[in-house]
């Protein structure tokens, strides 16, 4: 296996083929299946759901964002349980979600067998203001461990922040309609693994977790269902490797 790998396939199929205790941590941003109150809302494409009508650049649609609440919980419990099997004892899981799916995601992490440890808000900084409402300025990282943590502080320990704060990528930097900032993902992988550990991302998308792994000296295994994003992720990671070598 290469140091940085993006596998094309459904995460449940790929995860079932991976050996036990083979990675150090999971850091991922799965489809939220969030929003909508009727079945018609679930028929929207991710283009319609996440991009404004006057957007200058179209991002490809992505799969898996139209499950109802009970289906979402069951599906998450399935892949989270497989992730726990492949993560070494004491390893960490970090899963992004939004305010609607936060309770369900914390349930799913525990249903998958992880020990739920906490929530870290991500402040998106430039949220759209809403008259007589609070801006939806945060998304959330739900994190836990595969059993007891078992770690103790060392002189070179990384101390994670309680709030992540960085604006959403814009312009040419943005390759995916729900893309997270590389700086935020780098902060997460530094906490999730020590030294040159291996990070698994079952929903690699445009490869931001992989880029963060290159930048921080971690190994990376990504899984992505949509072929277009597999190519985007591989290209972004290859570019990050090139830039680091220069």
Reduced 3-state DSSP string for 147-199: CCCCCCCCCCCCCCCCCEECCCCCHHHCCCCCCCCHHHHHHHHHHHCCCCCEE
Q: What angle do CA 138, 189, 97 make, to 5 degrees?
A: 30
pTM confidence score: 0.85
Give the per-residue pLDDT at 165. Answer: 95
3-state secondary structure of 121: strand
What would the pLDDT profile of 8-33 be if each residue is shown by its tens digit? 999 999 999 999 999 999 999 999 98
Task: Spell out the CATH class of 4-245.
Answer: alpha beta
Give the per-residue pLDDT at 63. Answer: 65
Say how far apart CA 24 and CA 7 lie, in whole Å: 18
Give the per-residue pLDDT at 196. Answer: 80
Looking at residue 59, the DSSP 8-state letter turns out to be P
Task: Please check whether residue 32 is in contact with residue 205, taking contact to mean a CB–CB distance below 8 angstroms.
Answer: no
- Tokens read off for 233: 């992720």
Give the per-residue pLDDT at 47. Answer: 44
The label of the residue with tokens 């799913």 reads 108
Q: What angle do CA 56, 183, 49 make, to 5 degrees?
A: 35
- Tokens read off for 158: 């990384």
Residue from 228, 235, 185 nearest 58 by CA: 228
Residue from 30, 26, 32, 24 nearest 10 by CA: 30
Give the per-residue pLDDT at 51. Answer: 47
Task: Please check whether residue 110 is in contact with residue 145, taking contact to mean a CB–CB distance below 8 angstroms.
Answer: no
Say how far apart CA 121 and CA 134 lie, in whole Å: 15
The C-alpha R_g of the chain, in whole angstroms, comes to 17
Give the per-residue pLDDT at 192. Answer: 95
Band of the pLDDT at 57, cuts 50, 70, 90? Answer: low
Q: Helix (H) and strand (E) counts for the chain?
A: 7, 8
Residue 38 has pLDDT above 60, yes or no: no
Helices (H), the chain: 11-16, 46-50, 69-86, 102-111, 182-192, 208-216, 227-245
Residue 182 has pLDDT above 70, yes or no: yes
Domain spans, the chain? 4-245
Say how far apart CA 240 and CA 238 lie, in whole Å: 5
Give the per-residue pLDDT at 224. Answer: 96
Q: What is the mean pLDDT of the chain?
A: 87
Strand 198-201 and strand 138-145: the pairing is: unpaired
The pLDDT > 90 percentage for the chain reads 69
Strand 138-145 and strand 115-123: the pairing is: antiparallel
Looking at residue 3, the DSSP 8-state letter turns out to be S
């Amino acid at each position: 296996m290469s140091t940085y790998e993006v596998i094309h396939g459904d995460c449940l199929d790929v995860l079932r083929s991976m050996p036990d205790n083979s990675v150090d941590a999971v850091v991922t941003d799965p489809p939220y299946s969030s929003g909508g109150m009727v079945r018609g809302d679930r028929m929207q494409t991710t283009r319609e759901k996440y991009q404004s009508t006057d957007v200058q650049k179209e991002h490809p649609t992505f799969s898996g964002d139209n499950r109802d609440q009970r289906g979402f919980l069951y599906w998450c419990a399935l892949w989270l349980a497989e992730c726990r099997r492949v993560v070494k004892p004491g390893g960490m899981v970090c899963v992004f979600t939004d305010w609607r799916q936060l309770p369900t995601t914390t349930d799913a992490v525990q249903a998958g067998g992880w020990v739920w440890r906490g929530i870290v808000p991500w402040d998106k900084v430039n949220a759209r203001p809403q008259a007589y409402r609070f801006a939806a300025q945060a998304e959330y990282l739900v994190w836990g461990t595969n059993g007891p943590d078992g770690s103790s502080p060392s002189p070179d320990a990384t101390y994670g922040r309680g709030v992540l704060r960085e604006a959403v990528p814009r312009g040419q930097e943005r390759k995916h309609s729900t893309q997270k900032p590389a700086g935020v993902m780098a902060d997460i992988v530094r906490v999730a693994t020590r030294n040159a550990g291996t990070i698994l991302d079952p929903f690699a998308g445009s490869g931001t977790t992989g880029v963060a792994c290159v930048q921080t000296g971690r190994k990376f295994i990504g899984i992505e269902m949509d072929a277009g994003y597999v190519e985007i992720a591989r290209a972004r990671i290859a570019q990050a490797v090139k830039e680091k070598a220069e």
